[in-house]
Structure formats: C-alpha cells, structure tokens
Structure 1
C-alpha cells in the first residue's frame, strides 16, 4: 500500500493483513488512504494503548522492541524511497561546499527516515537542534521571527534541505521554523551523527566552514537594505555634506561580518582601523558596559 501511495495508484489487500503497526510506534501519519472494498471485520488497538503496553515492558525489552521496529521502518523506507549519496549534495551548504565522495558516503549511511503529516512542525525556532533534514517529497514553509513577528523566508518543495546551517555551525537552537504544508517524506541526519562523521574529514569540515561563512555574508548583504535606516543614523554619515559625498557610497563599502560569543572585536591598544555598525547582538564595551542592539552581527567599513 505504501508503494501504491508513492506511485499514485491503488492496490488491493486481502485478509489477513495488518496496517499501521509501524506508524503508531514511530509517530507517523498514515502513508495512504484505505477504503473498504468489501465488508471488512477488523480488530484495532489505539496508539495510546500500544505506548502503554510498551512502557510496562522491562527497559531492555522495550529498547530492543523499539530498535527492531525502527529497523523495519528504515528498511521499508530505504526500499521504497532509497536515499543515495548524490542526495547529500542536492542543496544547501552540503552542495555549495563540494564534499569529497568519502564524506558524502559516510553522511548518507547515517541518515534516518522521517515522515511528517501536513501541518506538523519539522523544526521550531529556538528549539534544540535535532539534525538537518533532506525533504524528499512534499512542500514546506520556512519562517523566522523578526522584531517579534513571524516573517516568511521561503517556500520549499522536495527535494530540498533544511537545518544545514544549524548543524554545520553547531548551533544549540534552530534559527528558523519549518512547517509541513503537505505530508512530507524526509530523511534526517542527526546532529550527533554529523559530528561523529565530521571528526574523520577535517578537510571537508573546513570547506563547510567556508561555505557557511559565505552564506552568512550573503544573508547579511541581502539584509543591508532592511537596515539602511540604521546605517543612515551613523553620526559620521550625518555629518557628511550631501553635496560633497553620497552616503549611499558608504553603504556599498560596508562588509558583513559575524563575531562568535566572547570573541575579541577590537582592543584599545590598537589604532581604530574600521567603522562598525552592529545590527544584532550585544557588545561588551570596556569593563562592563554593553552596546546594543542584541548579538554581534553587522558590517564593518575599513578606513582607507
């Protein structure tokens, strides 16, 4: 029946047969619509009852049961919608970085299948990062909170990748919210699995770091227009005579940069070599003062 759902057709199953034994345990939607073609006698047990029975088992037995169920689920998903090494490179940072075949093979061997019903949250901004998701089929909406309001970043259609920035940057919490607009077939590369694989491929990790930096710079360049009012409020820009200098020329010189928490931004023992416009984050000034707005994202303008 799952194959029928994938192929867009229909099949018939005659009694005795079982449906939903995997889905109720791994918390998935029905993979297809069932219609009784004839009168059917059926025995049912609810998801809650299954969970309660498993909870009463000795821990070792419950773990072995869950492991066996997940192995069957993974084998079924891999057979009907197999994940290949080429899919690792289909989008996002993993595509931009140009990973080696060995690293891509290793990552592909560590993914786990996931299915999300329409309306489910694949990830939510601020929640702990579970991993990056390879969306194989379905539509998603990606949003982020800006000034207290949910802002649409993009719509996505499988195949696509989400969560790659969070995993590669080792972020503690997700930077955006991803909602399933339709039922989704996906694979997750758990954060811990990525970290385990990355230890063996320092060259690829360096490539990903470079791709991550370029991605952040691109994001900041796109956001510069949104922050232009802040830029025009810089005292130096206000002091310039419009007839003598076009402030827009200064805006074009601003280069995006991101500082990690607790990293040194500048020292008073060194001559000032740049103007800095901080648009996100807090900066410690001197021994205890804080300059806002809120996390160390912004632009620098080098003094000629």
Structure 2
C-alpha cells in the first residue's frame, strides 16, 4: 500500500463536540424527571443521584442517531440503574436499626400543587411502595405516576408487555389496599399544621390530644446513629407526651417536604429532625420523624420533582 493510499483518520473533533453537547442538552432537559423516577423507586435522594450519575455515563456512550425517543430511552436507563440499586437497598434495610423511613426532600410549592405527584412522593406512599417487589415498584411508578405505555415499561424492566400488564394490575391492587386516605384541602392542611406546631411549641398536652387522631402513629428513624424509638409509637396518649418534650430543646419551622406539610426541628441552628405530617379530616394521623444525619444532607436545598 502506497503512502497516498494509506487510510486517514476521518474523525471530526467538532462533530464529537456536537454529539457531546446534544447528549448533555437532552440529559439536562430530562434530569428532574429522571431524578423523580429514581427517587420514587429508591426513597433515597443520595441513591437517586448515584443512579443518575450511572445513567449519564451510559448515555454518553449511546449513538443518539439510533434513539427515536430520548426521554423514553433515558427513563429506561435510569429505571435499570434504580432497579439494581433497589435490590441492594433491600438487603441493607434488613439490618437497619429501627424503622426505616424515606429520605425527606424539601420541595417547591408547585410540587404540592400537583396533587398526584405530591401523593406519589409523600412519606406515606413511599412506605407503601416499600412493600412491593422491585419490579412491581418500577412498573407501578412508571405506569401510575408517569403514565408510560406498557411497551416502554416492558423495555425498561426486561419483561414482555403482557407480563407488565399483569404486574401493573397486581401492584395497583396491592397499593390500593394500603394507600393513604383521600386528599385534604390546602386550607385544612395549613390550619391543622399551625395548630399542631402551636401545641408542640407550648408543650400543651391537651392541645396535642385535640389535634392528634386517636390512632395516630409516630415513626422515628435514627438509623442507629441518633436516639429514636425502635418501634412505632401508636395512639395519641402515647405520642402526645413525646411531642410535648420537643420544644424544650429545639426550634420549629414549618415547610413542605415530599409535597406535604412538615416541621423542621433545629438544635443550635442545625437540622436535627425532619418530621413529615400526614393529615386526614383535620387530624394528624401519621408522623414520620427522620433523625438519621445521612438522610438530612439534601434538606438545605429545594428539590425539583417533575412528572
């Protein structure tokens, strides 16, 4: 072969740069959606971020010319990454000290306005999703929350569309039997939260008993790092005295966590506990107090959740 017939390097560095820019643009455009998918599957912002990092690494190796629907393709990658992590998390939770609660997210007001999205990321719903098997959880989230068609979901979870339909039905029935009760108006929610906060700040047990449902449940997650009850505390008579002692050591701030009302408890200016509140018919029916420091690192920043 002569020197003139020697193959030449035809790679165009500018074209490579364009492809990288296009991949980045697509990923950024769908990042909030992908985070929400991963978070709803994992219940952990830190693990959701890790899943997105893996999604990005795989996405940069994809030939975009072969991708018909970039959003669907990215959701598929993220779902597979989250599924792998979900199986690992399930093993980790088996040895978790005390009740396990999802990692709370400080959410923007528009998340609460999207009732379906707020319901799907609420502490109560995420705990219901914990009772599903990994593939059931993925199918339920992709179908019921994000309304993906069965063919798309089938590609994401490596099942046939027919199998996905069966899994979706089974998961829907399972969740329906356990999901929280109906939605409460914003005004009713705000009034109940204000009354609850005043009762805690004054340490008034009677006020607390008036706002707590008789069958209220308090779950505390310390992860073996912070002091917390190792079993659920059940009933207003048991929960009220615990809450009545809070104001002596911390300051309270109302906020929105996972699309629903919550209280942030600070000690010495630092976040000590995030307590998500579940309200039904004007009464507090569920309290989810996260104290594990590893789960509070995202609480200083507002999180964008999107469908």
Could you say which TM-score interval applies, normalised by the shorter chain?
A: under 0.3
Q: Relative contact order (alpha carbons < 8 A, sep ≥ 6): 1 or 2 greater?
A: 2
* Structure richer in strand, relative to its length: 1
* Structure richer in helix, relative to its length: 2
Q: Structure 2 length normalisation: TM-score?
A: 0.26
Q: Structure 1 length normalisation: TM-score?
A: 0.26
